[in-house]
């Protein structure tokens, strides 16, 4: 019997596929060329079916290690960056060769957190990727590991692929991993764990199932995959997490058959600008709010006023992204602040009409205007 959500996934036209290191490399660390060949053939075939395809690929560090004959990830960041520089070229060379056999043009896109944090660069990256799709090219995206310093890193490609899916408003994100999908517990540790075919809402119960990475090559484990699912589904992109060991099985999604775990996109899709606010800029600090402000934000759709703020953390300036947390430390939302740390210290707990008297100027009545605020607590 065909289940309704399968029909929805089958219709997807713009697709982001993310492939992890564990899928791309052998246990030896060398590239798994057979698998890459099958993946490329499947993606080329999706394009032949009229779909737009974007590939987010890991494996630069892994391929660099394999090339140098090393079998352990170096612990120093500099060394890993050097590995990535060696491996990225190798990775692209293999993709270029394989894709050219089946037809599609490929394009390398390397992104850093800044390209997502900065609204101008975000829009620029979006336009470039959309232009590539217009040319029927397949953008092959990875993090620019060689130049992204640790504090400016997105960190791993599950998150990068979800950000990319949001960036280009993809219909579907497919995460290829070394596991068949989300299980009730880590199947490597708990043999009685069972596969969950579909997730409609990512709640505490689902998050609690996730464990860490399964191989020494993978980085994120299930935690980052669920975080990616959360980002993607909130942005209107459904996600399928499936095993990448037989890439031709991707086709099953488009035949309307169940495969892996499907995370269905939320009906409550946030606007593109709010999506950028939620997941784009780096968080520079936090404000703790009282119960009254928490209610106003969560229940009444109000802006954050200085009167509801009781504590400040971090160092931030006007225009920066800050977290809004309650007294128990739970994140309620994120937004762009109208006041920097120094000024906010003077006006927190005060009424908006007092702002000008205290500071000698007033940027706005609100510390975070509703338009610049995204509530994350209800997701
Ligand atoms: N609840 C779970 N369901 C499935 N896999 C899980 C779960 N919890 C932890 N894992 C582990 O996550 C691993 C996949 O993540 P990772 O090794 O980072 O792969 P990748 O390189 O594909 O990103 C699986 O091999 C599995 O051992
Ligand atoms: N950008 C890194 C990949 C980081 C990463 O997320 O790896 P993985 O967990 O295998 O998807 C690389 O190319 O090696």
Residue 58 alpha carbon, nearest atom of ligand 2: 13
For residue 212, which ligand has an atom nearest its CA?
1
Q: What is the pLDDT of residue 30?
A: 85
Report whether residue 156 contacts ligand 2, using a CB cutoff of 6 Å: yes
pLDDT grade for 378, boundaries at 50, 70 and 90 = low
Interval 85-106 mean pLDDT: 96
What is the 25 CA–ligand 2 centroid distance (Å)? Answer: 11
Asked whether the predicted pLDDT for residue 151 surpasses 70, the reply is: no
Asked whether the predicted pLDDT for residue 191 surpasses 60, the reply is: yes
Q: What is the pLDDT of residue 3?
A: 60
Q: Whose CA is nearest to atom 15 of ligand 1?
A: 221
Interval 309-332 mean pLDDT: 93
Q: What is the pLDDT of residue 267?
A: 65
Report whether residue 144 contacts ligand 2, using a CB cutoff of 6 Å: no
**pLDDT tens profile 262-290:** 999 876 666 777 878 877 778 899 999 99
% pLDDT > 70, the chain:
94
Burial class from Cβ neighbours inside 10 Å (0-12, 13-18, 19+) for residue 292 reads exposed
Which of 61, 84, 109, 210 to probe ligand 2 with, by most ligand atoms within 8 A of CB?
61
What is the 143 CA–ligand 2 centroid distance (Å)? Answer: 8
Which of 175, 179, 188, 202 to probe ligand 1 with, by most ligand atoms within 8 A of CB?
179
What is the 226 CA–ligand 1 centroid distance (Å)? Answer: 10
- Sorted by where each starts, the structural domains of the chain and their CATH numbers stand as 4-274 (3.40.1160.10), 282-375 (2.30.130.10)
% pLDDT > 90, the chain:
66
pTM above 0.90, yes or no: no
Mapping DSSP onto H, E and C, the string for the chain reads: CCCHHHHHHHCCCEEEEEECHHHHECCCCCECHHHHHHHHHHHHHHHHCCCEEEEEECCHHHHHHHHHCCCCCCCCHHHHHHHHHHHHHHHHHHHHHHHHHHCCEEEEEEECHHHHHCHHHHHHHHHHHHHHHHCCEEEEEEECCCCCCHHHCCCCHHHHHHHHHHHCCCCEEEEEECCCCCECCCCCCCCCCCECCEECCCCHHHHCCCCCCCCCCCCCHHHHHHHHHHHHHHCCCEEEEEECCCHHHHHHHHCCCCCCEEECCCCCCCCHHHHHHHHCCCEEEEEEECHHHHHHHHCCCCCECHHHEEEEEECCCCCCEEEEECCCCCEEEEEECCCCHHHHHHHCCCCHHHHHHHHCCCCCCCCECHHHEEECCCC
Q: What is the pLDDT of residue 145?
A: 86
Report whether residue 221 contacts ligand 2, using a CB cutoff of 6 Å: no
Asked whether the predicted pLDDT for residue 216 surpasses 70, the reply is: no
**pLDDT tens profile 127-138:** 999 999 999 999
ipTM: 0.94
272 is an annotated ligand-binding site residue: no
Report whether residue 244 contacts ligand 2, using a CB cutoff of 6 Å: no
CB 143 within 8 A of CB 154: yes
pLDDT grade for 77, boundaries at 50, 70 and 90 = confident
360/210: higher pLDDT? 360
Phi, then psi, of 282 in degrees rounded to 5: -70, 140
Report whether residue 218 contacts ligand 2, using a CB cutoff of 6 Å: yes
Least confident of 20-29, 73-82, 272-281, 354-363: 272-281
Interval 208-233 mean pLDDT: 76
157 is an annotated ligand-binding site residue: yes
Interval 54-69 mean pLDDT: 92
What is the 178 CA–ligand 1 centroid distance (Å)? Answer: 7
Residue 220 alpha carbon, nearest atom of ligand 2: 9
Report whether residue 188 contacts ligand 1, using a CB cutoff of 6 Å: yes
Report whether residue 92 contacts ligand 2, using a CB cutoff of 6 Å: no
Q: What is the pLDDT of residue 2?
A: 46
Q: What is the pLDDT of residue 278?
A: 78
Interval 102-110 mean pLDDT: 96
Q: Calculate the average pLDDT of the chain.
A: 90
Q: What is the pLDDT of residue 217?
A: 47
pLDDT grade for 20, boundaries at 50, 70 and 90 = very high
Q: What is the pLDDT of residue 379?
A: 44
pLDDT grade for 213, boundaries at 50, 70 and 90 = low
Q: Whose CA is nearest to atom 11 of ligand 2?
A: 20
């Amino acid at each position: 019997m065909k289940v309704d959500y399968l029909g929805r996934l089958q219709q997807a036209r713009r697709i982001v596929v993310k492939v992890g290191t564990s899928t791309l490399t052998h246990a030896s660390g060398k590239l798994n060329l057979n698998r890459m060949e099958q993946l490329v053939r499947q993606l080329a075939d999706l394009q032949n079916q009229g779909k737009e395809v974007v590939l987010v690929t890991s494996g630069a560090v892994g391929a660099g290690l394999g090339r140098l004959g090393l079998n352990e990830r170096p612990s120093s960041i500099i060394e890993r960056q050097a590995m990535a520089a060696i491996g990225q070229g190798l990775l692209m060379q293999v993709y270029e060769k394989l894709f050219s056999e089946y037809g599609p043009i490929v394009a390398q896109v390397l992104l850093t957190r800044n390209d997502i944090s900065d609204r101008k660069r975000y829009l620029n990256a979006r336009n470039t990727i959309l232009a590539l799709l217009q040319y029927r090219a397949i953008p092959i995206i990875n993090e620019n590991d060689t130049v992204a310093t640790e504090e400016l890193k997105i960190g791993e490609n599950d998150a990068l692929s979800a950000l990319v899916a949001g960036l280009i408003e993809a219909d579907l994100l497919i995460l290829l991993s070394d596991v068949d999908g989300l299980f009730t517990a880590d199947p490597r540790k708990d043999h009685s764990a069972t596969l969950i075919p579909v997730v409609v809402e990512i709640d505490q119960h689902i998050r609690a199932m996730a464990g860490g990475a399964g191989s020494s090559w993978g980085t994120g484990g299930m935690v980052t995959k669920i975080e990616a699912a959360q980002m993607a589904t909130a942005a209107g992109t459904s996600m399928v997490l499936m095993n990448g060991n037989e890439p031709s099985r991707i086709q099953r999604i488009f035949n309307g058959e169940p495969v892996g775990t499907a995370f269905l996109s939320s009906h409550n899709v946030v606007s593109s600008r709010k999506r950028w606010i939620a997941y784009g800029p780096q968080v520079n600090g936090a404000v703790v709010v009282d119960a009254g402000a928490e209610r106003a934000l969560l229940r009444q759709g109000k802006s954050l006023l200085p009167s509801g703020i009781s504590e400040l953390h971090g160092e931030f300036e006007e225009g920066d992204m800050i977290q809004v947390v309650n007294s128990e430390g739970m994140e309620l939302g994120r937004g762009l602040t109208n006041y920097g740390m120094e000024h906010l210290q003077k006006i927190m707990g005060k009424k908006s009409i007092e702002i000008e008297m205290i500071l000698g100027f007033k940027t706005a009545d609100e510390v975070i205007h509703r338009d610049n605020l995204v509530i994350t607590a209800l997701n």
